[in-house]
Amino acid sequence: MTTSSTYDVHAIRAQFPILSREVHGKPLAYFDSAASAQKPQAVIDAQARYLSHTHSNIHRGVHALAQEATEAYEGAREKVRAHLGATSTREILFVGGTTDGINLVAQTWGRTNLGTGDCIVLTRMEHHSNIVPWQMLAQERGFDIHVVELNPDGTLDDDQFVQHLNRGPKLVAFTHVSNALGTVNDVKRWTAAAHDAGATVLVDGAQSVPHLAVNVQELDVDFYTFSGHKTYGPTGIGILYGKEALLDAMPPWRGGGEMIGTVSFENGTTYNELPYKFEAGTPHISGGIALGAALDWMNGVGMASLTAHEHVLTQHAHARLAEVDGMRFIGTAPCKAGVVSFLIDGVHPYDLGTLLDQLGIAVRTGHHCTEPLMDKLGIPGTVRASFGAYNTVEEVDRLAEAVARAAAMLR
């Protein structure tokens, strides 16, 4: 089996220095991109070039380095705007990552708009990052959280979603792609339904932006957030997109540094314009620039080719792993992206993960920060293989053979 003839996975792999290393004396097969993707040389170089050639603090200096650094950072913001299809860079906030983006919305939009008697809608498949910030706020503000449950294949229960919409929620917050199941949700349709019911929509894009072309205007979402490190960029940087009118109406969150207009003990503080109103303190400048380089890199590969390649890997993994005795897939939605989660009868996921590691195969085991989902399924966790641009069909074969061998040893 091969992926598209125009997709040269070996040329792509050659751009990732880490893929040439060995683990426990075996070639590394990295199937943990959903936790964090590896970095191509172009991203490593962009960050190193900035640090060795351009670094200065941004926005406030008249000297050449300050101006060059500002241009590079704001240039990266423009790359993100273009990648997401946003109208303006005023709608693109640099944040620490998906978790940080959701907390920002909870602490600003949420704190302003949610109170006693209100409700919001989340789903059973959310990552803790899209549950806990709302629970913390709900405890303080007294609103209710309603949860959309899943169908047996790991898709969301549409009928229950409609029932929850009939309660008039102020917010619907859900993930575009499930990190534990791989399910791709129909963001456009759900957003339209939520808007018809008068709700604001936040979408967690942590597992979609690495795999799919996303256009926030086409989806019409109000907030969309993702992490740099899952999109072949650095840790500690991410993006929160918000519609300008919403961001304008929201109070700032963190105070200090770049987010101010003027500060006075006598007259109080005024705030900067968007997007800076939400960017207090010196940001992760090199991270933002390298995130821009990561999006350039993904666009160089081509989002459609990347999606198609990973689709082949996911299908092939399902087919090959299905041959293993006692295999039970967790998440069999018709539309999946980049994730295969499974259990094997009589085998603890942790033991399987440990044996695979000895063979140089990196998978993740556990609850994947989705404890409410695992509880509902009545399982402690799964083994999860997740794919990136650099994985090959041969690696998937190696995974399936290793899983079969390890499972036979462990039973």
Ligand X SMILES: Cc1ncc(COP(=O)(O)O)c(C=O)c1O
Chain-centroid distance, C-alpha 206 = 1
Q: Nearer to ligand X by C-beta: 121 or 407?
A: 121
Q: How far is the CB of 42 from ligand X (least distance, A)?
A: 21
The pair of structure tokens assigned to 62 is 């008249």
Taking the least distance from each CB to ligand X, the nearer of 123 and 227 is 227
Nearer to ligand X, 105 or 206 (CB): 206
Catalytic-residue membership of 369: yes
Do the strands 339-344 and 327-329 form a parallel or antiparallel pair, or are they unpaired? Answer: antiparallel
Q: Which of 185/392 has CB closer to ligand X?
A: 185
- Closest distance between ligand X and the C-beta of residue 267, in Å? 37
Q: Which residues bind ligand X (CB under 6 A)?
A: 35, 97-99, 127, 129-130, 175, 179, 204, 206-207, 227
Q: Which is nearer to ligand X, 35 or 303 (CB)?
A: 35
Report the nearest approach of ligand X to the CB of residue 336 (Å): 14
- Residue (98 or 392) nearer to ligand X, CB: 98
Catalytic residue among 289, 301, 369, 407: 369
Which amino acids are annotated catalytic?
369
